[in-house]
Amino acid sequence: MISEIITITHATPIGKIFDKNHACGIFDADVILHKVLEFFVAYSVDAVIVTEKSLPIGILTRKGILAAVYNFDNTGLPIREFMTPSIKTFHSSISIADVIEAMEDLPFNKIVVHDDDNFVGIIDKRHLLSMCYTHLTPLIKHEYNMVQSLMGLVGQDEHQLLKMATTDTLTGIGNRRLFEEIFQAHQSLGDRYDVNLFLLLLDIDNFKSINDTFGHNVGDSVLKELVHIVNKSIRKSDIFVRWGGEEFAILLRYSDPLAVMKVADQIRNRIDQNSFETIVHVTCSFGLTSIQPNDLLEDVFERADKALYRAKADGKNTVRMEIP
């Protein structure tokens, strides 16, 4: 059963949305149908988990069981005959944001949530999105519509000025000013919404030699192509800006540092493997740090810069992290 009393954010572990006081319906695949029917009658559930040797192999939905009992002879058959075999499981510690993103590529709606020892529950994409929409509206407005909301308060001329003031003209992504404003919005909401934030800095290795050897036009083309690569490698909710020169910053939400390290290394590898149109090879070094609730932007960047410096000193084209 889904718990409706907790405060839900995109960083909330998916397991937290389930009410621990209600058992999750779990049945072996060889259990006959009428035994499961009793469970559906006794509890208000949409589906149960079907297992074989304690491993999930499918789910049996209310719609499926109604279709099965239409023919009374079916009630003595094992539930494996009526289950939906295609399922996806997620550990209860994975954030809601990561689950929703993964569900976009799934061919089915319902997912099974488990922890280290037990199955926690089942939820469908529509219900999960509905819960998030209800609880996350204030934060979503700050993250995605902050600039648009400001623009709605000004005239057309001011609208253009504000857009220019928060956009990097070369690459088309946000600039330092936009990042600073979004960072402050995140920090002001962090305690309220329990958001886990990370700052990732990336700097193009040997960029001065690229400009000196090939000219600034080639250097500009490299910057724009790199932005395209990074944009394809991050989520829409991640804030990606050009901090200055050949240095970029990304504000990310993830459940743990290892997940962010994995994302950073994927970006690093895609840049390393990319054949740029203008020159043969480009690499980047990365510095990562987590953001604490009371951190100032200067403190966060100092830690990320230290990590970036270590990445450069360790041979470049690598990722390093500075722990607060």
Pairing of strands 119-124, 110-114: antiparallel
The secondary structure of 241-260, three-state, reads: EEEECCEEEEEEECCCHHHH
Is residue 246 part of the annotated active site? The answer reads yes
The secondary structure of 157-223, three-state, reads: HHHHHHHHHCECCCCCCECHHHHHHHHHHHHHHHHHHCCCEEEEEEEECCHHHHHHHHCHHHHHHHH
Name the phi and psi angles at 32, rounded to 5: -75, 155
Which of these is catalytic: 246, 277, 302, 322? 246
In whole angstroms, what is the distance from residue 24 CA to residue 194 CA?
Answer: 27
Residue 318, SS3 per DSSP: coil
* 154: alpha, beta or left? (left if phi > 0; alpha if psi -120 to 50): beta
The tokens describing 61, both together, are 């939905």
205 and 317 in contact (C-beta within 8 Å)? yes
* 53: alpha, beta or left? (left if phi > 0; alpha if psi -120 to 50): left
Looking at the DSSP assignment, which residues form a beta bridge with residue 60? 48
Active site residues: 246
